[in-house]
Structure 1
Amino acid sequence: MDESQNYGHQHPLLLLNEDQPIVANCSRCGEKVSTPCFSCAQDCGFYLHKLCAEAPLELNHPFHLHHPLMQRHSHGLSICDFCDEACEKFVYHCSCDFDLHIKCALFTLNMAENNLKELENVALHDPLISTENGDYVAMCFGCWEPLANYTHFSPDCGFNLHEKCAKLPLKLNFTYHCQHPLVLQFNNERLSCKICKVTSQRGFVYGCTYCKLVCHIECLSLPLDLAVEDKSHQHTFTRLLRRVPYICDACGIEGIYVAYTCSTCSIMVHKRCTTLPRIIKSKWHDHRLFHKYVLQDEVRSSDCIICHNEVNPKHGSYCCSRCNITFHVRCVTEDKGLYSIVSLENEDEMPNESSIIVIERNDAGEATKIKHFKHMHNLMLGPFDGGYGNSCNGCMLPITDPCYYCPECAFFLHKMCAELPKMMNVWYHYCQKPFALIPDKVFECEECWLISNAFAYECCGCEIKICLRCVIALTPGARTSLKHKHPLFYYRRQHEKCNACGMDNVGVFCCKDCNFVLDLRCFSLPIKARHKCDEHLLSLMDHDDNSYSKSRHCDICENSRDPNHWFYHCATCDTSAHVGCVLRRNYPFLKLGNIYEETDHPHPLTIVKKKYYYPNCDECSKPCEDVALECSKSECKYIVHWNCVAPFSLWFPRRYFM
């Protein structure tokens, strides 16, 4: 052991060279320490990797040419722009909001200085990375394409590169940008590719600092083909050897560089669009989608059901041959996990099997008597006049017309819930398996986190469950809210403040006609709810007309309420409460009277809610005032709070209590 300078530490440091186990983390990068490293001579728990200790305080990085990178403490607020992981300790930071782990900065610096030769001594690994849900294909950091069938590198930091990407030149002369060479770099400014107009969040790009332009590696794949065969087009595309602005006839997006033309059809496309699949299956739609360069004259322009913007019929799009539905090419193909290529036109689709058998119809063709595959009796369509005392057995929301009811038992289904298919795909779940409709299992919804034992869709692969409220809310197309007069559209990447809870969220329902926004959980809130604080049903309110400040408190938790946030209210008793206080322990989506068997008790338990007599819980010895589980055998007096034995914990963000 040798003494060394203290590298900013208040005590002297010792250099440890012996091969000895050390159970500690580096105080600079936060990762596990191994020798050689520095240790505090006074044993205060301070350790430094030798590499971290000798890292310069200022770094001029060739992949980030605009400004020098300065070493500083991240305080856990930074994400590394190389590996996309959180930075817990020190980082190299730039004022343009660019951060790198110390090890990532030094690793990529060596890569650049050695023209990527740093990777030659890195061991080769299998491109398949195991996960809990099976195997998935790792992605190349350079071009962000799958690594399958390619040799690649995988150092300890999880960095992967195709062999071809590891041999990329640091500088490149590009025919269509002769002024300056293009330099391999990070796209930290998130510029869109000049060739394909798509913005990559991670990976290398070739860019020109002076002209503020970048190009994806795959868009510059050299040599550029002079002619390209397109399987979805009957003719060969020829590269246009001039730089001209154009609108791609395959995807409808503007292009400037590298155009390919078909002189026979008089169309011009991006290089990437010469390989668009002709037929795809998308999780956004139940039927196959066909790529069309121009839609038929009788087809009017319509909105893409992903981005909700207009699809120009004169430009390329994907459309359904059965439905009047079209998609922008980039919207439906941007996420490769949400679609698959159909090789044969007659390839089988997932059967869209109905949940009901129609027994009788009226003169208008409407099904008035049905058999639902999850209920033993026939169901009748009819006007419902039972008020809010009953809930739909599918979604557990209050019954409203139109609905189906069972003449023999208290079973109700909204018409929309009854007509949902037995199997379906959902676009927001990345498991490739479909979802199956299941009833009566107690589950926690993957999307809204609420607990229910109504109908749900369960993934046939990973078995996660989604309630019908979220399935219906996130079904592509316009949605309606009883608290807003205009239709709402879901934008999965839009960042807005919710009108109901006041929180900023990514993925929201927005109104095209006015500045109205709801996040998913607020969109799915029940309009009516019960709570023991009031004998009447509480109504969801979107504004508070009472200007008296003392009235703006919650009658359950007795804390103040924000008058701009939604709340539950009883007009008869003048009771008001936070949304979270009403729903947190009340479990409004649990069907009382159902059997719950997932406990250690030898008998089946019934889900109950005591109204008058509150026996003590057999687990915590406190009165069972909330939802409880009671033994179904009358001679057994066992009863426990739901919260004492159930495996689910209902969580609400803080915003619901303010």
Structure 2
Amino acid sequence: MSESENFGHQHPLVFNEKQSNQSEEAYCSRCGEEVSLSAPSFSCVECGFHLHKKCGEAPSEINHPFHRNHPLLLLQYPPYAQGVHCICNFCSKTCKAFIYHCSCGLDFHITCALFTYNIAQKNFEELQHVALEDPLVSTGNDGEELERFQCFGCWEPLQSSTYFSLDCGFHLHKKCAELPLKINHMCHRKHPLVLQFDTERFSCNICQKTQQRGFVYCCLPCNVAFHIGCMSSLPIVEDKSHQHPFTLFWRQAPFICDACGTEGNYVAYICTTCNIIVHKKCISLPRIIKSRWHHHHIFHTYFLHDEDFKDGDCIICHDGVNAEQGSYYCSDCKIIAHVNCATQDETWYYIVSPENEDGKSVALLPGESIDSITCVIERNEAGEATKIKHFKHMHELMLSEKIAEYDQCCEGCMLPISASFYYCLECDFFLHKACAELPKMKHVWFHYCQQSVLILTSGCIFRCHLCDHLSNGFAYKCNECDDHVCLRCVTLTPDTLTSQGHQHPLLFYVEVKEKCCGCGEDIDGAGYFCKGCNFALCRICVRLPTTTRHKSDEHVLALTYKDDHDYSKCHYCDICEEKRDSNDWFYHCAICDTSAHKSCVLESYQYIKLGSIYTEGDHPHPLTFVNKIYYYPKCIECGEPCQDLALECVTSGCNYIVHWRCIAPYDLGWQFHFPRQT
């Protein structure tokens, strides 16, 4: 053993060519990996400090061929706030100390920086410590496991060829490690293309996709980049979505893709039979899809005539679609959508096989329904059902044309009875006509289980996964994920919406960057928007009930969109007695001339029906939901007065009462089945 410099350590270090006599595990103080018993290393004679030879001799600065903009500097700690670690841009694992850092934000472990440097310099003799495995003879990974691993360079599975493998979980095909550092290619004739880290998150000019990391061939002066796999595109491609083969056309020339209607460059595929030119990615566009934005199947078409559609605006982004270029189209409804809008998000659609293209073999489409009225007993002269037997109630229901004169809410949507409704002659059961006519099964367009059918259910307390309100009304339940959607939310559609608070129709947009005209809050995401006058509503304000009740007023409160009072002292909430913004929507009682914030009126348990029976829990008797107004007995659990939603024992002589929040499960998200009081 010979003495060596201490590499910044306070004690002298000695160089160990072999450590066969070492008994305890040792780890490198720079890269954190285990120091092998046989590998050359440096060790401290006074403490447990060890360094791999390669880590100890790592240069303080590297001019990396895969990152030519700036040098990589070796730092002991990440140059960020204290305690903040960084992520290695190569292996995506945490870097805690001793990293190679670039001023543009690139960070590498020592091991990853040296490995890739040797790859770039073709110093393969320096990589003898790295495992070089052949999938055909390797016993360490079976085929199924290899399918999960991808090459860092080309992002293809490892199964196809021999690959390098680091202990940190990094893998690189041998063929990708041997790629030339600089090439001349037909797709870009002006400059040579250089193999680089994709630190700029370039979008490939051939496939238009962006990878999170990896290698790309790029021309930095022209700001163009190409994925490794795209550089070796097949000259002829056949796909079942088109009846003829496509031929590769290497030519740097702008073109408009006939399949999606957007511009392309550098490479195209041509069908000479159909006289069309398309992007590489558009060769395999699905011919038929079921989109969440429309209730029928929509078909890909290369062009349409003016008489084929009603409105030339895309049903998703609401901008115009050039009918002479590719689009998705429904011939029944004569609607149209941009190809890139319809396929923008994989959760927005699913591919329909050709044998199901007429929709007959699909279990249930949103345009189809099974009537929830299981038995119509009587009809009037106009054919309207006046007496029914609803499948969610034990007694017959009668149709009434007038609004109820007493305090009742609909058992379905839990909103005050209004408009036409059904009522039970034997018990206090009321159901809006619109709620009674909802289908038993329904596709809900915003639900992420796109191919699932939601089933109408009742008799449970649930939390709507869209509006987050608790309710014990009717709900649509997904049998795949168990999510519930309340009837107030399920009626929302991506189609044109009308609101009493605005004179023009509103359109649904995935991204809205405006202030909500209902609550004044910023909308940073999906919402409804009027193209004509920049009027916007968030998804909460769109669903606000037009009428509701509150314990502070004996009358029905109406949603009001404008405060006509000029006197500032009128702009106060009569519930919380705090100031109101006169520009925000509020609830108002015209009889009492009282006004209140929306949030004060719509309490946390607004949609829990008082008087419903609850039989879960440890109490031996049935409990009923109550909201104490006139006196406040103490909760049996917390001892505080029951001023909020509570459960009270219905058995005479039992004074048990408990806050709902005291016995509800964490996040109030579990479902509890209970019989209704009918």
Do these two structures clear the TM 0.5 threshold for a shared fold by scoring above it?
A: yes
Residue 351 (structure 2) aligns with: 341
- The separation in 1 between residues aligned to 2:587 and 2:56, in whole angstroms, is 57
Residue 642 (structure 2) aligns with: 624
- The separation in 2 between residues aligned to 1:141 and 1:545, in whole angstroms, is 64
Q: Compute the displacement of 1:293 (Å).
A: 1.8
Asked whether the 8 Å contact 1:606–1:631 carries over to 2, the reply is yes
Aligned ranges for residues 253-264 of structure 1 at < 5 Å?
253-264=262-273
- The separation in 1 between residues aligned to 2:166 and 2:620, in whole angstroms, is 53
1:368-396 superposed Cα distances (whole Å, 9 cap, x missing partner): 66554333455566544237944333333
- The separation in 2 between residues aligned to 1:14 and 1:547, in whole angstroms, is 83
Residue 132 (structure 1) aligns with: none
Task: Decide which structure has greater strand share.
Answer: 1
Aligned ranges for residues 206-605 of structure 1 at < 5 Å?
206-217=217-228, 220-222=230-232, 224-295=233-304, 298-300=307-309, 301-346=311-356, 348-352=361-365, 353-357=369-373, 359=376, 372-377=390-395, 383-386=401-404, 389-401=407-419, 406=424, 409-413=428-432, 415=434, 418-429=437-448, 433-473=452-492, 475-499=493-517, 500-540=519-559, 566-568=585-587, 578-584=597-603, 586-605=604-623
Aligned length: 618
Asked whether the 8 Å contact 1:316–1:329 carries over to 2, the reply is yes
Give the AA of the match of 1:589: Y
- 1:615 equivalent to 2:633? Answer yes
1:138-161 superposed Cα distances (whole Å, 9 cap, x missing partner): 888767789999999997877788
- The separation in 2 between residues aligned to 1:307 and 1:467, in whole angstroms, is 27
One of 636, 654, 670 as aligned partner of 1:636: 654
- The separation in 2 between residues aligned to 1:152 and 1:430, in whole angstroms, is 38
Give the AA of the match of 1:305: I
Q: Which moved more, 1:590-599 or 1:642-651?
A: 642-651
Asked whether the 8 Å contact 1:197–1:254 carries over to 2, the reply is no
Q: Compute the displacement of 1:331 (Å).
A: 2.3
SS in 2 for 1:345: helix
- The separation in 1 between residues aligned to 2:544 and 2:12, in whole angstroms, is 60
Residue 133 (structure 1) aligns with: none
Give the AA of the match of 2:299: F
Distance 1:112-1:182 versus aligned 2 partners, 3 A rule: farther
Q: Compute the displacement of 1:622 (Å).
A: 1.9
Distance 1:202-1:524 versus aligned 2 partners, 3 A rule: farther
1:411-445 superposed Cα distances (whole Å, 9 cap, x missing partner): 22352673345142544415764432222321222
Instruction: Please say which structure displays the higher CA radius of gyration.
Output: 2
Give the AA of the match of 1:271: K
* Cα RMSD for the two superposed structures: 5.1
Asked whether the 8 Å contact 2:90–2:108 carries over to 1, the reply is no
Asked whether the 8 Å contact 2:411–2:429 carries over to 1, the reply is no
Distance 1:297-1:335 versus aligned 2 partners, 3 A rule: same
1:625-648 superposed Cα distances (whole Å, 9 cap, x missing partner): 211112243343321111111125
Q: Compute the displacement of 1:605 (Å).
A: 2.3
Asked whether the 8 Å contact 2:188–2:252 carries over to 1, the reply is no
Distance 1:148-1:113 versus aligned 2 partners, 3 A rule: closer
Q: Compute the displacement of 1:404 (Å).
A: 5.1
Distance 1:566-1:332 versus aligned 2 partners, 3 A rule: same
Q: Compute the displacement of 1:110 (Å).
A: 3.6
Residue 112 (structure 2) aligns with: 107
Asked whether the 8 Å contact 1:250–1:317 carries over to 2, the reply is yes
SS in 1 for 2:364: coil
Q: Compute the displacement of 1:607 (Å).
A: 1.7
- The separation in 2 between residues aligned to 1:541 and 1:485, in whole angstroms, is 14
- The separation in 2 between residues aligned to 1:83 and 1:388, in whole angstroms, is 68
Distance 1:639-1:251 versus aligned 2 partners, 3 A rule: same
- The separation in 2 between residues aligned to 1:76 and 1:580, in whole angstroms, is 40
SS in 1 for 2:665: coil
Distance 1:145-1:567 versus aligned 2 partners, 3 A rule: farther
Distance 1:370-1:165 versus aligned 2 partners, 3 A rule: farther
Asked whether the 8 Å contact 1:125–1:152 carries over to 2, the reply is no
- The separation in 2 between residues aligned to 1:246 and 1:432, in whole angstroms, is 36
Asked whether the 8 Å contact 1:451–1:590 carries over to 2, the reply is yes
Distance 1:614-1:278 versus aligned 2 partners, 3 A rule: same
1:157-198 superposed Cα distances (whole Å, 9 cap, x missing partner): 777888987876665543121122334556555554433445
Distance 1:297-1:141 versus aligned 2 partners, 3 A rule: farther
Q: Compute the displacement of 1:462 (Å).
A: 2.2
- The separation in 2 between residues aligned to 1:163 and 1:282, in whole angstroms, is 42
1:573-604 superposed Cα distances (whole Å, 9 cap, x missing partner): 666555444445x4111122223344222333
Give the AA of the match of 1:257: Y
Residue 44 (structure 1) aligns with: none
- The separation in 1 between residues aligned to 2:176 and 2:562, in whole angstroms, is 57
Residue 654 (structure 1) aligns with: none
Asked whether the 8 Å contact 2:420–2:432 carries over to 1, the reply is no
Residue 675 (structure 2) aligns with: none
Give the AA of the match of 1:386: A
Q: Which moved more, 1:305-314 or 1:164-173?
A: 164-173
- The separation in 1 between residues aligned to 2:55 and 2:537, in whole angstroms, is 46
Asked whether the 8 Å contact 1:568–1:582 carries over to 2, the reply is yes
SS in 1 for 2:273: coil
Distance 1:61-1:320 versus aligned 2 partners, 3 A rule: farther
Give the AA of the match of 2:626: V
- 1:72 equivalent to 2:79? Answer yes
Asked whether the 8 Å contact 1:76–1:88 carries over to 2, the reply is no
Asked whether the 8 Å contact 1:510–1:516 carries over to 2, the reply is yes
Q: Compute the displacement of 1:619 (Å).
A: 0.8
Distance 1:121-1:101 versus aligned 2 partners, 3 A rule: farther
TM-score, normalising length: structure 2: 0.73
SS in 2 for 1:412: strand
SS in 2 for 1:180: strand
1:225-272 superposed Cα distances (whole Å, 9 cap, x missing partner): 332223222222223343332221111112222222222322221122
- The separation in 1 between residues aligned to 2:463 and 2:615, in whole angstroms, is 16
Asked whether the 8 Å contact 1:441–1:453 carries over to 2, the reply is yes
Residue 39 (structure 1) aligns with: none
Asked whether the 8 Å contact 1:595–1:606 carries over to 2, the reply is yes
- The separation in 2 between residues aligned to 1:147 and 1:557, in whole angstroms, is 64
- The separation in 1 between residues aligned to 2:445 and 2:494, in whole angstroms, is 10
- The separation in 2 between residues aligned to 1:387 and 1:4, in whole angstroms, is 91
Distance 1:551-1:419 versus aligned 2 partners, 3 A rule: same
What is the percent sequence identity of the aligned residues? 49
Give the AA of the match of 1:373: F
- The separation in 2 between residues aligned to 1:396 and 1:94, in whole angstroms, is 59
- The separation in 1 between residues aligned to 2:472 and 2:480, in whole angstroms, is 20
TM-score, normalising length: structure 1: 0.75
1:293-346 superposed Cα distances (whole Å, 9 cap, x missing partner): 223553125433332333333222223354434332222223334444334424
